[in-house]
Each structure stands twice: as C-alpha cells, then as structure tokens.
Structure 1
Amino acid sequence: MISVDLLRRLGFKEAFAIVVGSMIGTGVFLKTAGMAQDAGAPLYVLLAWLAAGALSLMGALTYAELGCLFPKAGGEYVFLRNAYGPLTGFLYGWTRFWIAAPGSIAAYAIGGVTFLESLVPIGNYRLEAAIAVIGFFTVLNCFSVLFGGAVQTVMTAVKIVMVMALAAAIMSFGAGTSWDHLGSASAAGWKSWSGFGLAVLAALWAYDGWNNLPMAAGEIRYPDRVIPQSLVGGVIAVFLLYVGANIAYFYALPFAEVANSNSTLHPDAMPVAIKAALHSFGGAAVTILSLAFVFSALGAMNGSILTGARVPYAMAQDGLMWSRLGQAHPRTHSPVASTVVQGVWACVLAASGTFDQLTNCIVFASWIFYALTTSSLFYFRRTLPAPAYRTPWFPWPPLIFIGCAVLLIVNTLWTMPKESLAGLGMIALGIPVYFLFRHRRINA
C-alpha cells in the first residue's frame, strides 16, 4: 500500500481559529450556573474564571515550546512518548481516543441540542439530533484539512462577534440591569476551598481546547512561528471574551437567578445566557441567541473532531493502534478512518450520560496528562537543542501549571470520587491493551 502523508496546509488564521474555536463552545453559556452554586457569590465566580484562564495561559506558554520541538501529528502523545516512553504516550492516546476527544464531541453535541430546543420542538429526539450533528461534521472533516480549517475559521469569526455582541448589548441596552448584582452576595457568599476548586474545574471545561492545536502540528505551515502566536494569542482572546460575558450575566441577573439556571441541579431551567438575554431584551433576542449558541457549540465540536483524529493516527503510525487508523486518504490527505471511528464512538458516548457528567470526567482525566506533558519540558530542556520559541519566564509557567494541576486533581478526587475513579479506571484499562499492541508489533 502506498504511504500517504499529511500535508502542511494550515496557516496562522486557521491555527488561531482552531485554538479559539475549540475553546468557545457551550461552557461559557452553561457553566456559570453550576459555578455560582459551588463558589457562592459573583466575585468568586469571576475569580474562578480568572484562575482557570491564568492556568490555561501557563499551559499554552509551555505547550507552544513543546509544539515547536515536535511539529508532528499527535500533540501530547508525541511529547509524552519522547519524554517518558511509549507506555505513557499510549495511555494518554488511549484516554484521548476513548474519553477526551469523543467525550468532548458528545458533550458539545448535547450542549448544542440543549440550545436547539429553544428553537425547534425536538421532544424525545434529543439523542437522534446530537448523533446527526456529530455525523455531519465527521463527514466534513473527512475532506482536506484545508477545508476543515476554512470551516473552523468562519465559525470562529462568527462566535467571536457573537460573544462580544452579547456582552456589549446586555451592558449597554439591557433593561433591569444593575452593578449591584455583582456585589450583593460577595460578603457572605464564600462556601469552601473545595467549592471554589469545583468552580475552577467547571471553568476549565470552558477553556478546554487550548491544547488541541499541537495535535495538528504536522499540518501547520511555519510551526515555529504559527504555533506560539496562535496558542498564546488564542488563550488571551478567549479569556477576555469569557470575563466580559460573565460580567454581563451578573449585571443582567440577580445572583439567585444565575445559580438557578440550567445545570445538574436545575436540568429543566433555561441556560444562564438565554435567561440574561430574555431578561434584558425579551423573546426576539432569545431566538437569535439560541441559534447563535447552537452555532457556537458546533464550531467547538468541529475543532475537536479535526484535531482529535490526529492522535490515534499518530499512534497507529507507531504500531500502537489499529493500522487502518494510521492511513491518510490518497485524495484528501486526511486520516479518514481515524475520523470516522472517533465520530462513531462519540455517538455512543452521547447516549451515555449528562453534559456535566461527561465534562467532569473528561477534565479530570485530561488534566492528569496535562501535568505530565508540562513536566516533560524540563526533560527536553536538558536533552534537546533550543527551538526558535522558548517559554518566557521559565521555569515559572510550567511549575505554576503543574502545581495547580495537582491541586485540581486531588480536589476532584475528593469531591467527585465517582467520576474520578471512572477516569482512572479507563486509563488503567489501557495498560494491558498497550502490551497487546506491543506484542503484535514485535511479532509482526
């Protein structure tokens, strides 16, 4: 069989769109309610968004250097394999393949359908609608990466305008708004550090996706320049958008109204973003925003589909996944088999749990490997020549990131043992599978 390689077709515009578009999905429109329940006051919710944004930036500064060191398909899989050996790399790829990537895709689909219900009477067909959108965007990403990148660019541009317009309109023209909403509960609102940690965990889901770009590094032109610029610039842009949106929510609504919005505790309530728009502008704005929020969720899903399929592709190239997944299509130069399998499994996960259960499990499992990946930079600094980009203020960004990641992991184990143990169990299941693939590769 003739070997077909991935092609470097993505520039800064597409790379920036992947970073921003993969991050801005449903979290900023849904997660504030649960964060308010955990944190206890507007001030602490905003601080949780700030902490999660700063932590994501520390990670982006570090990942940018790693991406320049290894501008290949696979992202964290490649970094961990080269630093800690093939078993560690495989366990990351295994977790990404079975939980993180398809779980994110499923969660975005469920979130998108949640907003779609405000426009279309879906009734008992919520699951079928989620599966349909997963299938549609999976097919789109079987075309060339340039086509997928162009779709991502357009959708990301619309999302940026949408979030800015929402915050600006509420704060400029909304009825019944008040700055008093932001300070009224702060004096007595603090619950606990564990509660604040859960609020940060929820915010991290909304930021999740900044790490996706290195997975597609093998298809980026001028990676030494484009990867750092798009990673760091994308995280900063999203942070500003998120803070602005959340200030607008609390400006429009009393704290109790925010906390009682759509969440695990209030599954039938309206999402906080729609509630803020309805309170400020009435029904017409809700219709427009609901359509825009569906668009936002689907844009994030498209970015996850595009980048996530590159991890099993890279693993299969090393003989640590089914060989068919490591083949690119001869016409599109895209990993079609990997993309399709990822989409099918995402449909299965869409039927397996609620939005919050999926995202909490994903974030916990992912952050274990984020911490390991970030620590690998210390090893590469000693063993490899310096790339064109170097993490500024080293070693503080990776050290801060690792320290906070460990605290986050411990807090999640303590407060959400069921989801945490499920994530750990899935990681552990990868160990015998690794040795099975390794045995097959040796005896091939």
Structure 2
Amino acid sequence: MLSLAGALSLAELGAAMPEAGGIYVYLREAYGKLFAFLYGWGMLLVIHSGSAATLAVAFGIYSATFFPLTRLEQKLLASGVIALLTLVNIVGVRAGAAVQTIFTLAKLAGLAIIMSLALLARGVTAVVPTQPLPTPHTTWVSFGVALIGVLWAYEGWHMLSYSAGEVKDPARVLPRSYFLGGLLVVAAYLGANLAYLRVLPLGALAEHQRVAATAMEVLAGPRGAAFVSALILCSIFGALNGTILTGPRAYFAMARDGVFFSAVGRVHPRFRTPALAVLIQGALAIALAATGTYEQLFTYVIFAGWIFYGAATVAVVVLRERRPGLERPYRVWGYPVLPIAFSLAAFAIVANTLASKPRESIIGLALVLAGVPIYYAWRWLPARSSRQ
C-alpha cells in the first residue's frame, strides 16, 4: 500500500508534466535545479546504477544454482549481463521494450504456475504454529530493516515517470498504468505468499532464503526447484532491463538543462535513443557490480533513493500551492493526506536505515552531497567562458 500511495502521487505529477526525466523534472519544478541535480547525480552514482549493479550481482549469485561459479566468475557474469542490456537499450527503445515485455510475461506466467500448483495441491498442508514463533526482542529499528527488503521488491513503482515523455496520451495512460500496475504487483506478491504458506510452515519461511524454490521442491521435487530458480533469473533479468531502460532519461533531461555533458542530451542519429546516457550508466553499474557486495549496494540504493522519493511526493503539495494554474488531468486521491503520509513513511525509512546501517548510509549520502560542488562548478565554467 505504501508503494501504491507513492505511485498514485507521482501519477498526478506525471500527467501534469509528461516530460522525459520523471522525478528529476518534478524535483526541479518544486525545489529548483540544485536539488534536482543532486537527485540526477545520486541516480547516476548510487540509486539507478546501484540498482542495476545489485540486480546483476543477484543474477550472478542465482546463476550458480545451475553451474558452479566462483565469486569472481559471478561478478564477471554480472558485468556481462549489464553490458548486454546496455547494448540492447542503445540499439533502440523497441528492443528494450520487447525484452521487458517478454521477461515480464514469463515472470507472471511462472508465478501463476506456482500459485496454481500450491493452492490446488491435495494432501499438502503447512503446519501453522498455535504459539508465536520465538523471536528476539522486536524493535521499530528491526521492523524497519525487515520493511526495507519488502519495499525493494516493489522498487520499480516510480520508473514509469522517467519515460513519460515517450508515452502517447500520458494524461490518460500514466495514472491508469500506475494504478493497475501497482495492483498487479500487489496481487502477484500476495498470491505467491499465500502459495508459500499453503506449502511451508512459518518456521521454514524464516529459515530458508530461497522460499519459492523450497516450496516448489515440496510440490514437484528438484525439477520444481530448478524451475523456480530459472524463473527468478527471468525476473531479475527483466527488472535489470527496466532499470537500464528508464534511468538515462533523467540524465538526458539534466543535459538539456545545462547541468550535465551536452552530448548526453543528444539522441543517437540512427537508433533515436539517448545512447551516451545509457552507455555512461552501464559503465558505472559495471564498476559498482565489480567492486561492491550485494548488501552494500542494496543499502546505498535504499538510503539515497528514499530521500528523493519522499521529496517527490511532497512536491505534489508544493506545486499545488506554487502553480495552481497547472493543468492536472489527474489529481491524487486523498490529497493531501496520501502524499504527506507517504513522504513521512519515506523519511522514517531513511532514518531507520541510518540507524541500522550507519556506515553504508553515510557513504551513500556523501556520494549524493558530492554533487553540490560539481553542480556549482558546472554552472561556473560556462558562465566564465561566456564572460571571456
């Protein structure tokens, strides 16, 4: 529900400002170019490149299910997958969109098979404890740490905004896509978890990292577990492609605003894509995948990203006050409670991540704030050249 609230808030902004760049554009209009630049800079160094690296590293780890891989080989595979999808998305938007469609449908079909087998199976009933499972003392910090992993599963809810400038009839399509897409993801995850609970006892859910594979092994043996591992690879591959596809639109918008290399704001003459933006993001993602661990990358992404997600939903309120005449084909339901509630939750997640993972959080924040002198240097150099 938290992710759906954020998506519906962005739907208002996307329908009102259907431009390439998404959240970058909304932050620029609400808070100015510096804050928007910090988001774009953070996307490039941490949030989006880090997301791509995290997914690629996970792809390498899960590939070891089918054939033995050393840690070095896993990282090489992760880098190779990023390079492949970077090339696909340079060649054309249609190629990237086709990959996205194929792997999304494969993932949904696989989930449907798992849910059907689990919910229709006879003679398979999980043992549900009558007493609460023994757990260590639960605090708000530990609850927040668990919530971070859940939110990561829904992390793609904001990515539609980056490609808003390429959507036909955005005033109608964007709000509907945010809402229906969010509901589909919720239904898929709830259905999958009901299936797992149908097969596995609660204790097993806590003990196994590969819950889906364990559940399918109970239902269909080792081949079922292998099927799920292949499905997870499809899911990661599709999510990685979506990340590589959408992020460069923000760097493209930054270049058009004069706060990034002007060449990044050009469209490839043959492929009609922001090719240089895609290439730069791919190179940084490969560097992160080669040097960071999954847990480090994960924390960088969550901490830096949710600062700006919270600010983006507050922008709904800010722009309603500053630009009341802006045409809004869609207005978020429950205004102003829904966007404010989401932003408060987002900032609570940021604070909780700082409390639980201070070192990684501070590194992520430092990488974002390093953009402040870069921004002023970028503005000073052209001004100095024009004076001379």
Q: TM-score, normalization: structure 2?
A: 0.93
Greater percentage in helix? 2
Q: Which moved more, 1:248-257 or 1:430-439?
A: 248-257
CA 113–287 in structure 1, closer or farther in 2 if over 3 Å, else same: same
The counterpart of 1:217, out of the listed 154, 159, 164, is: 164
Identity within the alignment, %? 36
CA 218–344 in structure 1, closer or farther in 2 if over 3 Å, else same: same
C-alpha separation in 2, matches of 1:418 and 1:273 = 32
3-state SS in 2 of match to 1:351: helix
- 1:146 corresponds in structure 2 to 94
Residue 60 in structure 1 maps to residue 7 in structure 2: yes
Q: Deviations over 1:156-178 (max 9, x none)?
A: 11111112222332233287541
Structure 1 counterpart of 2:76, one-letter code: E
CA 173–80 in structure 1, closer or farther in 2 if over 3 Å, else same: same
Residue 111 in structure 1 maps to residue 50 in structure 2: no
| Deviation (angstroms), 1:190 | 6.7
Residue 351 in structure 1 maps to residue 290 in structure 2: yes
| Deviation (angstroms), 1:222 | 0.6
Q: Deviations over 1:212-261 (max 9, x none)?
A: 11111111111101111111111111011112222323332233332233
Residue 164 in structure 1 maps to residue 89 in structure 2: no
C-alpha separation in 2, matches of 1:253 and 1:422 = 39
Residue 442 in structure 1 maps to residue 383 in structure 2: yes
- 2:18 corresponds in structure 1 to 71
Structure 1's consecutive aligned runs of 4 or more residues displaced over 3 angstroms after TM superposition are 174-177, 183-190
Please say if residues 196 and 212 of structure 2, whose CA atoms lie closer than 8 Å, have aligned partners that are also in contact.
yes
C-alpha separation in 2, matches of 1:296 and 1:194 = 29
Paired residue total: 382
C-alpha separation in 1, matches of 2:82 and 2:120 = 37
The counterpart of 1:370, out of the listed 306, 309, 313, is: 309
Structure 2 counterpart of 1:417, one-letter code: P
| Deviation (angstroms), 1:272 | 2.1
The counterpart of 2:49, out of the listed 102, 107, 117, is: 102
- 2:174 corresponds in structure 1 to 227
Please say if residues 55 and 240 of structure 2, whose CA atoms lie closer than 8 Å, have aligned partners that are also in contact.
yes
Please say if residues 19 and 164 of structure 2, whose CA atoms lie closer than 8 Å, have aligned partners that are also in contact.
yes
Q: Deviations over 1:112-141 (max 9, x none)?
A: 222211112233511111111111111100
| Deviation (angstroms), 1:283 | 0.6
- 2:80 corresponds in structure 1 to 132
Please say if residues 34 and 375 of structure 2, whose CA atoms lie closer than 8 Å, have aligned partners that are also in contact.
yes
Residue 90 in structure 1 maps to residue 37 in structure 2: yes
- 1:323 corresponds in structure 2 to 262
Point out where structure 1 has 5 or more consecutive residues left out of the alignment. 1-53, 263-270
C-alpha separation in 1, matches of 2:69 and 2:213 = 18
| Deviation (angstroms), 1:208 | 0.4
| Deviation (angstroms), 1:187 | 8.3
| Deviation (angstroms), 1:394 | 0.9
Please say if residues 60 and 74 of structure 2, whose CA atoms lie closer than 8 Å, have aligned partners that are also in contact.
yes
C-alpha separation in 2, matches of 1:386 and 1:352 = 46
C-alpha separation in 1, matches of 2:377 and 2:14 = 29
C-alpha separation in 2, matches of 1:360 and 1:257 = 26
Structure 2 counterpart of 1:67, one-letter code: G
Structure 2 counterpart of 1:298, one-letter code: F
C-alpha separation in 2, matches of 1:239 and 1:408 = 20
Q: Deviations over 1:69-105 (max 9, x none)?
A: 2111111111111111110000000000111111111
C-alpha separation in 2, matches of 1:216 and 1:427 = 23
C-alpha separation in 2, matches of 1:67 and 1:135 = 30
CA RMSD of aligned residues (A): 1.8
- 1:301 corresponds in structure 2 to 240
C-alpha separation in 2, matches of 1:111 and 1:250 = 25
- 1:3 corresponds in structure 2 to none
Residue 431 in structure 1 maps to residue 372 in structure 2: yes
C-alpha separation in 1, matches of 2:255 and 2:123 = 56
Residue 398 in structure 1 maps to residue 339 in structure 2: yes
3-state SS in 1 of match to 2:157: coil
C-alpha separation in 1, matches of 2:123 and 2:56 = 32
Please say if residues 133 and 203 of structure 2, whose CA atoms lie closer than 8 Å, have aligned partners that are also in contact.
no
| Deviation (angstroms), 1:66 | 0.6
Please say if residues 37 and 375 of structure 2, whose CA atoms lie closer than 8 Å, have aligned partners that are also in contact.
yes
Structure 1 counterpart of 2:6, one-letter code: G
C-alpha separation in 2, matches of 1:184 and 1:253 = 16
Q: TM-score, normalization: structure 1?
A: 0.82
- 2:198 corresponds in structure 1 to 251
C-alpha separation in 2, matches of 1:65 and 1:103 = 27
Structure 1 counterpart of 2:68, one-letter code: P
3-state SS in 1 of match to 2:158: coil
- 2:220 corresponds in structure 1 to 281
Please say if residues 174 and 252 of structure 1, whose CA atoms lie closer than 8 Å, have aligned partners that are also in contact.
no
Residue 192 in structure 1 maps to residue 158 in structure 2: no
CA 250–191 in structure 1, closer or farther in 2 if over 3 Å, else same: farther
